[in-house]
Structure 1
Amino acid sequence: MVTTQDTASRDDVRASIVAAATELLREKGASAVTTRAVAQAAGVQAPTIYRLFGDKDGLIDAVAEHVMATYVSEKSAATDDATGDPVADLRSGWRAHVEFGLTNPELYALIAARGSGAPSPATVAGLDVLRRRVRRLATAGLLRVDEQRALLMIHSAGNGTILTLLGMPTDQRDLYLGEAMLDAVLTSILATTPATPDPSTTAVAVTFATVLPDLPGLTDAERALMAEWLHRSLTSRTP
């Protein structure tokens, strides 16, 4: 029978191992995070790591999850408190994301490498933060593309920018590349004059989609059908 004390002890050991692996990763890189080195740093036996994480890859994922989750939590809190210009809020989040990637190159590379499989919960949470920022743009009538396309464009450009900068020697990095890339994306997704809502049919449709879930007098099926019509109209337009 597993007691509450046993569970607490297991969680404490797991946290200790993740902390030790995180420190090794930051100080010496991914290659230094061996099962033996982590076990020694955490003061446990190697079999404990296999029992709790399955293998070294499982441990590395847990480390990336831990650091990314902490970052996402801070970013999410900042998003929840944001009350100003939605474009400025998006720019602030972009800068923070680029900074995270450049500050944690080993971890970012590990997180990015998971792209071929199911994303980690921390990555999903990060996308949710970005989705809320994009929703603010749509609600303000500032988007000229649908929310999902805007989300994917920003996300892809951000990851590409970070990986490109990480691939350069530190002293040769163009630190203005991030701003230039964001400006290019904003030019593609925002109305021509962000300070004034775009009256075009595209911007109206995108904005209308944000209030669709709250429209009274409609059944769920009717809302779903209307959402499908809006999506079809937006995605069928020539870029």
Structure 2
Amino acid sequence: MDDAKTRTRRRILEVATGILEREGAEAVSTRSVAAAAGIRAASLYQLFGDKDGLLAALAIHAFDIYLAEKQALAHTGDPVGDMRHAWDMHVDFGLRHPALYVLMYGTDRPGRRPPAADEAHELLLKFLDRMAAAGRLRLPPALAARLLLASITGVTLSLIGVPPEDRDPEVSARMRDTLIDSLAAGRPQPPDADPGLVPRALALDAALGAADEDELPLRPAETALLRVWLNQLAC
């Protein structure tokens, strides 16, 4: 895509985002966006097709905004604390951009998930891998990620549906602490303490996943089988 088309596309998405956040999805039409962007409707159709194409592009744009904020979060030596901060950032993003958030998470359809949603999921798995590597995770990262996503999107969408003056921040804080405390294996233990079987199995699985194949004394098939066994131990 040449520079002129890239600039036009960016302009359309910025204008459409403004309309969406001010007036809601009902107000987003090819005609209204083209008029607000100062372009011909034909130019918008060439870039996005119909309204569904424009909304799909807006969902990707929303995830790009979200990822920029998520990637800016600083990591500390406490992966569980970092997870709590990431939860708060996620909910805060949804409450600051409710229309975008509903477009991202409230209208998801099988087979139409934006690629940026997968990138957001990968960031979540990286958080959980850090917890597992530190011996702080009670469940396999993939299962923990599904539980976290279901919980955090449910909380955020429910808060979006409540008038701002009636929102209780304790709803998010209590759900966050209840879920993360159920996933976390407790505070770091002294070197000679036994953290338990599940955190040790998940920590070894995380170490195997992060290692180069050349560093391992096992063949790839053996490593894969060992990781299956470790996840079985953690279930």
TM-score normalised by length of structure 1: 0.88
1:228 equivalent in structure 2? 228
1:145 equivalent in structure 2? 139
1:21 equivalent in structure 2? 16
1:72 equivalent in structure 2? 67
Structure 1 runs not aligned, ≥5 long: 1-5
Inter-partner Cα distance in structure 2 for 1:230 and 1:129: 22
TM superposition shift of 1:170: 2.0
1:104 equivalent in structure 2? 97
What one-letter code is carried by the residue in structure 2 that aligns with 1:184?
Answer: T
1:211 equivalent in structure 2? 207
Inter-partner Cα distance in structure 1 for 2:233 and 2:76: 31
- Contact 2:138–2:234 under 8 Å retained in 1: no
Inter-partner Cα distance in structure 1 for 2:126 and 2:194: 20
Aligned length, in residue pairs: 227
Match of 1:54 among 49, 53, 56: 49
Identity rate, percent: 36
- Contact 1:142–1:198 under 8 Å retained in 2: no
Inter-partner Cα distance in structure 1 for 2:139 and 2:75: 23
Tell me the C-alpha RMSD between the 2 structures: 1.7
Does residue 194 (structure 1) correspond to residue 187 (structure 2)? The answer is: yes
TM superposition shift of 1:75: 1.2
1:180 equivalent in structure 2? 174
What one-letter code is carried by the residue in structure 1 that aligns with 2:90?
Answer: H
1:3 equivalent in structure 2? none
Match of 2:84 among 85, 91, 104: 91
Does residue 44 (structure 1) correspond to residue 39 (structure 2)? The answer is: yes
* Structure 1 segments (4+ residues) deviating >3 Å: none
Deviates more, 1:89-98 or 1:52-61: 52-61
TM superposition shift of 1:113: 3.1
1:171 equivalent in structure 2? 165
TM superposition shift of 1:137: 0.9
TM superposition shift of 1:198: 6.0
